[in-house]
Amino acid sequence: MAAMQALYYTPASKLNSFVSQQLQSCREWKEEVLQVVQTVEQFLRHERFYGEEELDREVRVLKVVKVGSLGNGTVLRSTREVELVAFLSCFRSFQEEARYHKAILRMMREKVQYCQDLQWLRLGDLRVCKGVPHALAFTIQTKVTMELITVRIIPAYRVLGPSELRITSQLPPEIYVSLIEACGAPGNFSPSFSELQRNFVKYRPTKLKSLLRLVKHWYQQHVENGCPKANLPPIYALELLTIYAWEMGTQKEENFMLDEGFTTVMELLREYKFICIYWTKHYTFQNPVIEDCVRKQFIKKRPIILDPVDPTHNVAEGYRWDIVAQRARQCLKQDCCYNNREPVPSWEVKFS
C-alpha cells in the first residue's frame, strides 16, 4: 500500500513502524543527495559575482548552510527539495540586504546558468521564485538514481558570527533592535538566523523527530496535495507547533507515545483560532524595542506562532488555516488516531 494511502489505514499502535519503514530516508539516498548538494556548495564557495552597476563591489559567499528538513534531520523519504542559505560579503546590514537582494539573485542566476559542474548534473528549470524572501531555484539530477532534486538558494546577511552561534540562550539585544528597525516584510530577514532555526529542530530527541516526520507526511499528502493552489502555511509553522505540543504536553519527555503526540497536534490544528505560541530562548522582553515588537504581535488575529529566532515574524499569519483544520478533523476520524476502536488520548496543552 502506498505511503500516501497507508497512514489513514494504519492503527495508532503501528505508527512507530510506519515512520521507520515508510517515512525515514535510507542512508544511501541521503548520501547521494548530499553528494549533488556538495557540488552546489562548492560552486557557491569558489565563485565571485560581479556585473551589477548598482552593486559596485566584489561579492563572495562567506558560508553556505543547509536548512529545511535536510539540515535539521527530519527529511522524509519522499523529499526532493533542498534549501541552502548563502551568506554574502556584500551585505553589511539588513537594509543593504533588502536593497541588493534582487540584484544578487540576477548575478547568481547568470553564474549558475554557465556552471559546467551543474550542467553535468542536468541543470534545468533555472528561475527566480517569489517568496519570503525571493530565492534562486533550479533542478539537478542525482548521479546514480537520476532523480530530480529541486535546489533553492537564498542570499542572506550574516548577522551572527561564531560567538553568537555558540550562545544557547539570549542573543545580544542590539541584533534584534537592528532587525526591528530595518522594517522589512515579516520573514524577509529570517534567513540571517537560519542556523539558529535549524538548530532549534536539529538537536531534539529522536522520537520527537519521528513525530515531526509523521506530521509533515500527513501535511504533504493529505493537505498540500489536495490543495495545490491554496495559500497554505509553511511546513516550518507545523514543525514549531509540533515542538510546542511536545514541550507542553510531556514536559520534554524523550520517551512518549507517538500516537498521542500526533493526535494532540491534530487537535491543536483543529482549534487554530486559539493558538498563540512563542519562545523566549533567544530574545526576551527586557529590551523595550523588542518588547514593543512582540506585544504588537500578540494583539493580532490568531493563530500566532512566533519564530523562536525572529520576533518580527509570525510564521502563521495570512494562511488558510481553515483548510488545515478541516483536514485535521478528518484525520482524527481515521485509524491512525484510534486503538481498538477507542480514540487515542491527547496531551493536555494550553492553546495560548
Q: What was the pLDDT predicted at 295?
A: 94
Q: Per residue in 236-287, pLDDT tens?
A: 999 999 999 999 999 999 999 999 999 999 999 999 999 999 999 999 889 9
Closest by CA position to 155, among listed 98, 205, 111, 201: 98
Average pLDDT of the chain? 91
Q: How many CA atoms lie within 13 A of 75 on its CB side?
A: 22
- Whether the model clears a pTM of 0.75, i.e. scores above it, the answer is yes
DSSP class of 266:
H
Are 307 and 226 a contacting pair, CB within 8 Å?
A: no
Beta-bridged to residue 147, according to DSSP, are none
CA dist., res. 54 & res. 40, Å (int):
26
Domains of the chain are 3-163 (3.30.460.10), 201-343 (1.10.1410.20)
- pLDDT value of position 1: 44
What is the phi-psi region of residue 311: left when phi exceeds 0, alpha when psi lies from -120 to 50, beta otherwise? alpha
Digit-coded pLDDT (tens) for 215-234: 999 999 999 998 989 999 99
Percent of the chain with pLDDT over 70: 94
Q: Tell me the three cell numbers of residue 157.
A: 546577511
Read off the pLDDT of residues 17-27 as tens digits, 9 standing for 90 and up: 999 999 998 88
3-state DSSP assignment of residue 49: strand
Cα distance between residue 187 and residue 133, in whole Å: 7
Q: Spell out where the chain has E strands.
A: 48-49, 59-67, 81-88, 124-129, 135-141, 148-157, 276-277, 304-307, 310-314, 338-339, 342-343
298 band by pLDDT with thresholds 50, 70 and 90: very high
Q: Is the dihedral of CA 165, 169, 172, 173 positive or negative?
A: positive
